[in-house]
Amino acid sequence: MKVSSKQINSANGIVSATISKAVIEAKEKEVAKKAAKDMKVDGFRKGKVPVHVVISRYGAQIKQDSQNAIIQEVYEIGIKDLGEVEILGNPKFTKFDENEGNIELEFKVSLRPAMELTDYDKLIPDFKPEEATEEEVNKSIEEAAKAVSEPVKLKRKRMLREGDIAIFDFEGIVDGETVENATAKNFSLEIGSGRLIEGFEKGMVGMKYDETRELDLKFPEEYHAKDLAGKDVKFIVTLHEIQEKTIPEIDDELAKKLIPNDPEMTLEKLKTVVKESLESEKTSKLYNTDLKPQLLEALVKAFDFELPEAIVEEEVNSLLNQKLQGMDEEELKAVQEDEKKLEKLKKEVEPEAAERVKTTLIVDELAKQEGITISDQEVAQTMYYEAMQMGQDPKQMMEYYQSQGLMPIVKMSMLEDRVLSHLLNKKLDKKEEGKK
């Protein structure tokens, strides 16, 4: 067996091999002998099945297992010959020829390229964090106070208005029949919250105590109850009570109520906490919508290095599949029947594929230089939280992502976000130090 390795550049290598018929036959006998130890064949004791019987009965499988074993050996020898390199991804076969029992094979190997990422701090865009105004702080505290306040029944009788809490009965009638799922007694609703179908809450505004109104409405086309979707409905509504949320006194007692884990909380301390929280939200929004895309673009433009061709090809195929999935049947058929159109599509996605691979390599290298990591546990926790937020089963989501091989993509996305946030925070910290 002859194996030769060649490093084309810092990101790509080629391993070639010629395997003789004798080597292949010897490997087949070895594999068959090993398989015979556990094989049961009528007429032979377990472990005593002759090798030629195993090969005659399971020749195709023995041949496949032997080839896989030889390829693995070739790979290990070839990688060792390449020297001190870091392998990325899986090898890609560029040649596999069988001729008179001999095999000639060749595959590309992706390597971590040599990268010199220096002075990248200078690429971080300059920015000024937006401060929270006194008006924004006060409004936020008022909203929080309103959220914790208990609704109070109106002592005076007036008409219902937006923001009130109404206690009422309603009956939904479709095609002359009462709909049980659209009927309730002593239902409580904040008018303007948008909980009921369009037009319902607006139609109640102006009602008085014990008044009954008829509302002619229509269920949405995308209504969750399919049997009611898009249908006309008459609601008979009777108002019993109006409650009002009153904003409590904005003072130290309210501050303690809003942040109960701090016994020394005061209104002034609460204002500081709220101001910092609002400013953190503003900074986060600035990071995600503006600064991170700018920084990533600057990093990709600033550094140049060889890319692993096999990984770029994988990304090209991934983007190509996305394009094909987005086509209608006629477009898809035209591409499938015309090789030139398919090649044209590949050429179109190549620049984006190369940029994606380059971005991933830059982020990964920056993470190493800055000592940033994302553990598998963090990935699982993040996915669990997102599944809960979307009302999905976390276990099923995890199993789906694992089965589709999507976990590394999620992890890389999280790493990219953390690296970019880290670099922006370093710039922000330097700004704060400069003020002192």
User: Which structural domain, as residue segments, surrounds residue 215?
Assistant: 151-244
Question: What distances in angstroms separate CA 404 from CA 91, 408, 431, one per listed residue?
Answer: 20, 10, 44
Mean pLDDT calculated for residue range 1-21 = 93
3-class DSSP assignment, residue 37: coil
**CA–CA separation, 97 vs 22, rounded Å?**
16
- Contacts (Cβ under 8 Å, ≥6 apart) of 153: 241, 242, 243
Residue 360's pLDDT is 94
Examine the domain organization and report whether 82 and 200 are in the same domain.
no
Examine the domain organization and report whether 307 and 403 are in the same domain.
yes
**CA–CA separation, 415 vs 426, rounded Å?**
16
Examine the domain organization and report whether 288 and 382 are in the same domain.
yes
**CA–CA separation, 355 vs 300, rounded Å?**
8
**In-domain check, residue 347:** yes
**In-domain check, residue 117:** no
Domain end call among 59, 91, 111: 111
Q: What is the dihedral of CA 73, 84, 108, 362, to 10 degrees?
A: 140
**In-domain check, residue 419:** yes
Examine the domain organization and report whether 192 and 52 are in the same domain.
no
pTM of this prediction exceeds 0.95 = no
Which candidate, 9, 20, 172, 206, places its Cα nearest to that of 98?
20
Q: What are phi and psi of 170, to 5 degrees?
A: -150, 150
Examine the domain organization and report whether 281 and 428 are in the same domain.
yes
* CATH code: domain of residue 42: 3.30.70.1050
**In-domain check, residue 22:** yes
Examine the domain organization and report whether 287 and 378 are in the same domain.
yes
- Contacts (Cβ under 8 Å, ≥6 apart) of 283: 129, 130, 428
Which pLDDT band, with edges at 50, 70 and 90, does 59 fall under? confident
Examine the domain organization and report whether 277 and 366 are in the same domain.
yes
Cβ–Cβ contacts within 10 Å for residue 119, how many? 8
* CATH code: domain of residue 194: 3.10.50.40
**In-domain check, residue 127:** no
Tell me the pLDDT tens digit for each residue of 136-182.
999 999 888 888 888 888 877 889 999 899 999 999 999 999 998 89
Examine the domain organization and report whether 340 and 197 are in the same domain.
no
Please state, for a pLDDT cut of 90, what percent of the chain lies above it. Answer: 59
